[in-house]
Chains A and B, each alone.
Chain A
Amino acid sequence: MSEHSGPHHTSKMAGADGDDSLYPIAVLIDELRNEDVQLRLNSIKKLSTIALALGVERTRTELLPFLTDTIYDEDEVLLALAEQLGNFTMLVGGPEYVHCLLPPLESLATVEETVVRDKAVESLRKISQEHSPVDLEVHFEPLVKRLASGDWFTSRTSACGLFSVCYPRVSSTVKAEIRQHFRTLCSDDTPMVRRAAASKLGEFAKVLELDYVKSDIISLFTALASDEQDSVRLLAVEACVSIATLLPQEDLETLVMPTLRQAAEDKSWRVRYMVADKFSELQKAVGPEITKNDLVPAFQNLLKDCEAEVRAAAANKVKEFCENLPEDSREQIIMTHILPCVKELVSDTNQHVKSALASVIMGLSTILGKDNTVEHLLPLFLAQLKDECPEVRLNIISNLDCVNEVIGIRQLSQSLLPAIVELAEDAKWRVRLAIIEYMPLLAGQLGVEFFDEKLNTLCMAWLIDHVYAIREAATCNLMKLVEKFGAEWAQNTIVPKVLGMANDPNYLHRMTTLFCINALSEACGQDITTKQMLPVVLKMSNDQVANVRFNVAKSLQKIGPVLDSNALQSEVKPVLEKLATDTDMDVKYFAQEAISGKLVFPPPAAETSLYVRFYRSGKPDDHAVFLSSSTVLSLA
């Protein structure tokens, strides 16, 4: 909102005595304390409306003090409040008065609920930018100090996120104090605070002068990375990335690498997991030389780790790690150091490890080129296509495109087909669902001929699966195939089979025909829809099962836009009118819906009550502005 609209608007409202436009605001203010949490939430979300009506003066002197003590409320209300206050600067009178927002945000920064605290810190960070340098030292920095030396760890954890935003804009004496506070928090008694400090270490390092990074941050980093609690140590790994980025290459070896090496071999698997998880970032941060000398052996160790979680995290990074290796020695490193480990992982005992590897391994083919792929990777792909765990097979199939580019899919298709068929017939419907979702991709890779020959029957079989989710996905799959192969292909291969199911004795299969028509009509176009599909739909309006009949009504509504107006008038309308007099109430309902051609969207429950009350008072329009536009539209 613009700077002058606020006061202008307010004077108009306050000026008119007994102005009934105050009424909705009065409701909003009273509902800040309503018993219904949804109404309170509503009011908090419209806090700017309240503040606007009160004017900047009363917002500062009355509304904010009230909000400062409102921290007893439900989390979702506090969360909304913390968020609102981050955008409140103009409503309290602009940057000059922005410090008035500090007390309520300070109390929100001490609540026990992490999401609320984080949001309060986020808002504090936001409004810190709106403080003048003087205000920052007079108001903001003391708040940070208060939080940092608070009795409870909730306030100290919140302080950790605020140092970096005020540090660059304060005098050097205050900077020294801030560094001291941060140091203290890094050795706090409670692990919660040390964790918060560790997670903000990288961010804080970024705003520090390089000399202080070397003197202060490195010692804190080293201390946190050897904390007695592994939950703290693992967060130091994250900080390692940012710190390494900041330091000149020649300092990395002495200042960062000892700690990083230690983390990669930590006794706790959770720390090693973190190293594996952040490996690509670490690799970029330390540069090619250290990568070659240190990270390659470290990565090999992680791929062979005794804990499966660590191996899985490392396996996930195989492709990225290889991609980012220095180009001159990339192939040699992969072939001699990485590939042997990868080969072992293909037959790992843990299926999560295998499936993590399967989701990235195909990416190696682009890096290694055709010959190496055929010689070294292809046997691995083939082995994984035969893996006992369906997830592994699925992950391989879902990444076929990478391989297709390098060696062409024909090399694989012999093994591919049995793998696909097996997944398509898996006893677990979720596995069947997953393979259906890859069908359009596979069809694109394998081409129309291979598809027609080998996969088409599978796609049609899914339409009569006994699980609804599979039938539904199968119809959606058909639509995507038609988009890929075109209407003509559809007319020859799919449409006849789909329409044939309209005479199936099972009504569920007859309904599948209708669902398919719904999905296909647009992709097939007017001609096929009008000439081939419409007659079938119309004929089904005489079905003996009511569910089929009302789905006919729904289908007619759905395919209506694709049909020409002639057919609509002469064929569709009489059928719908007949259905509208059906004995079954659902059929009647949907037929009428289709005739009137519109859907009813009920208004959101939360706002109804507020609105209905206004509505009953007879003046809905005056208050419509306070409701979301969608509600106004549907009810006005």
Chain B
Amino acid sequence: MAGVSGGNDFQWCFSQVKGAIDEDVAEDFGGYVASLELVVGSDRVPDVTVLRPSDIISTVEFNYSGELLATGDKGGRVVIFQHEQESKNRPQLRGEYNVYSTFQSHEPEFDYLKSLEIEEKINKIRWLPQQNSAHFLLSTNDKTIKLWKISERDKRAEGYNLKDEEGRLRDPFRISSLRVPVLMPMDLMVEASPRRIFANAHTYHINSISVNSDHETYLSADDLRINLWHLEITDRSFNIVDIKPANMEELTEVITAAECHPHQCNVFVYSSSKGTIRLCDMRAAALCDRHSKFFEEPEDPSSRSFFSEIISSISDVKFSHSGRYMMTRDYLSVKVWDLNMENRPVETYQVHEYLRSKLCSLYENDCIFDKFECCWNGSDSAIMTGSYNNFFRMFDRNTRRDITLEASRESSKPRATLKPRKVSTGGKRKKDEISVDSLDFNKKILHTAWHPKENVIAVAATNNLYIFQDKIN
């Protein structure tokens, strides 16, 4: 069975899974790092335990080279995985991702002025382009953005004047010579240190952060405003978009996502709950209240329903690596827009059209408000986005072929090929098909990431992170 890779046929196979095993079985929960250890190949008998909400993965992001993969979770933690070089012990597997650094990025807080709890959940992680041997990333919860430095240390200073090797104090009055400390090699230590905290600029919940291609600024967006920050300045930011009406009763739409153009440092887009996208040029004016492009697809009056507005709300917007296109995700579809054509998307892909008949129950269980993200592959020839029942979808833009795959424990054997899944909508269900009515809506894949250069993908399924790669025979 063919996979989707932008022209070349290949199959996706399982590589790794991180995190506790499902809701009812898990690795030893001694600590979070333990729970993130490679499960595959482990012969330990898992303990029975319950899913901890704080372990639910809330964002996944590769860095620019793909060497590092970061996840954030509801517990405010950031875990970074590093791509290991190919190991001799398991020649069949190409390099695996192993835990490189784990740190608590955000803590729960309480805003005493507004009497509001501030969740520690990591909403977004964005890597900075690498500037020296250390790595930098921005992580944000609802209110506060932090810049983290992840660096390695492999030397330690040794030799004190006032104490000997065992740490015993020397007589201070019998020091006859001075010792200068000497640096000795030691085991590699990875440190994560907070470098800057960008706080107090957002009244509403931050939904996006995006680093600008000028390498010195980034933007952060909440429901009603977008701010522009300088990466080195924490005490002020510039408000570039403000859609808050003078009277909140007149509020008709909110900002759902925002992103900087990958090459043009003056261009950014933001999407709205009305299904529209605005492109702004920061060269034109200091305040970008007036957009320079407005992308909107005219609504088909025949398919209008009570849910039209809700399902047209855009949950994610991503520029292609080339900067020519952008992709938006709404509840039922993914659309690719050419930046030069504002009146309709150039491509539309149905993600799970079979849910159209079930919108009523999806509205009742709040699933209709789920915010699915989407991502491009390295060459912009394929796109990926999530669905329910731990399914995720890929679309090949050249061949228009699509595929549904499942992130599940059953197929999590090393190099096991992922079988395409099918959902049956009609009355008669073929073999290997699953009926719409038996889909599990609690298992949703909201966050996925595609390696910037290779066919390696990371898929967050609740508290598990699956890594798949193309199969090399």
Contact = CB atoms under 8 A, between A and B. Distances in A.
B178 A66 contact: no
B162 interface: yes
A231 B212 CA distance: 11
Contact of A66 (B161, B172, B181): B181
A268 interface: yes
Nearest to B217: A231
B179 interface: yes
A115 to B, nearest CB: 9
Contact of A190 (B153, B215, B263, B264): B215
Contacts of B45: none
Contacts of A22: 175-178
Contact of B173 (A18, A112, A195, A309): A18
Contacts of A153: 131, 215
B34 interface: no
Contact of A63 (B180, B263, B266): B180
Contacts of B182: 62, 66
Contacts of A25: 178
B149 interface: yes
Contact of B162 (A20, A30, A32, A191): A30
A270 B266 CA distance: 10
Contacts of A191: 213-216, 265
A266 B183 CA distance: 53
A10 B232 CA distance: 43
Given A22-B175, A268-B266, A110 B132 contact: yes
B450 interface: no
A33 B181 contact: yes
A33 B133 contact: no
B365 interface: no
A103 to B, nearest CB: 13
B174 A27 contact: no
A542 B62 CA distance: 74
A79 B214 CA distance: 25
B430 interface: no
Interface string A256-295: 0000000000111110000000000000000000000000
A324 interface: no
A455 interface: no
A269 B130 contact: no
Interface stretch (B93-101, B117-125, B281-289, B380-388): B281-289
A621 to B, nearest CB: 15
B160 interface: yes
Nearest to B130: A152
B173 A23 contact: yes
A231 B134 CA distance: 25
A152 B232 CA distance: 18
B265 A26 contact: no
Contacts of A17: 176
Chain B interface SS verdict (over half): loop
A66 B266 contact: no
Interface residues of A, number: 49
Given A23-B173, A231-B216, A269 B265 contact: no
Contacts of A63: 180
Given A20-B175, A33-B181, A269 B136 contact: no
Given A66-B183, A270-B283, A154 B132 contact: yes
Contacts of B264: 228
| Among B129, B136, B151, B214, residue most surrounded by chain A Cβ atoms (within 10 Å) | B214
Contacts of B356: none
A72 interface: yes
Given A23-B172, A25-B178, A54-B180, A269 B285 contact: yes
Contacts of A309: 286
A19 B160 CA distance: 18
Interface in A71-97: 72
Contacts of B134: 112
B173 A66 contact: no
Nearest to A267: B283
A230 interface: yes
B283 A269 contact: yes
B48 interface: no
A152 B285 contact: no
A407 to B, nearest CB: 37
| Among A190, A231, A270, residue most surrounded by chain B Cβ atoms (within 10 Å) | A231
Interface string B220-237: 000000000000100000
A152 B132 contact: yes
Contacts of B409: none
A20 B178 CA distance: 11
Interface in A524-542: none
Interface string B135-162: 0100000000000010101010100111
B231 to A, nearest CB: 10
A69 B265 contact: no
A30 B162 CA distance: 7
Nearest to B173: A20
Given A154-B131, A268-B283, A192 B215 contact: yes
Given A18-B173, A20-B172, A154-B131, A229 B265 contact: yes
A26 B161 contact: yes
Interface string A233-272: 0000000000000000000000000000000001111100
Interface in B323-355: none
A44 to B, nearest CB: 13
Interface in A119-162: 152-155
Interface string A215-240: 00000000000001111000000000
Contacts of B174: 18
A306 B266 CA distance: 17
Contacts of A20: 172-173, 175
A54 B180 CA distance: 9
A8 interface: no
Interface string B191-217: 100000000000000000000011110
A18 B283 CA distance: 69
Contact of B157 (A33, A195, A270): A33
A18 B284 contact: no
Interface in A590-636: 617
A308 interface: yes
A231 B214 contact: yes
B416 to A, nearest CB: 39
B131 A30 contact: no
A236 to B, nearest CB: 15
A404 interface: no
Interface string B299-325: 000000000000000000000000000
A190 B149 CA distance: 20
A229 B214 contact: yes
Contacts of A307: 284-286
A114 interface: yes
Contact of A29 (B153, B181, B213): B181
15 contacts: A18-B174, A18-B175, A26-B172, A29-B161, A30-B160, A30-B163, A54-B180, A66-B183, A69-B183, A152-B133, A228-B263, A228-B264, A229-B213, A267-B284, A270-B282
Given A18-B173, A63-B180, A66-B183, 7 more contacts: A18-B174, A22-B175, A26-B161, A33-B157, A33-B181, A154-B131, A190-B215
List the 6 closest A-B pairs by CB distance, nearest first.
Answer: A26-B161, A268-B283, A62-B180, A152-B132, A231-B214, A20-B173
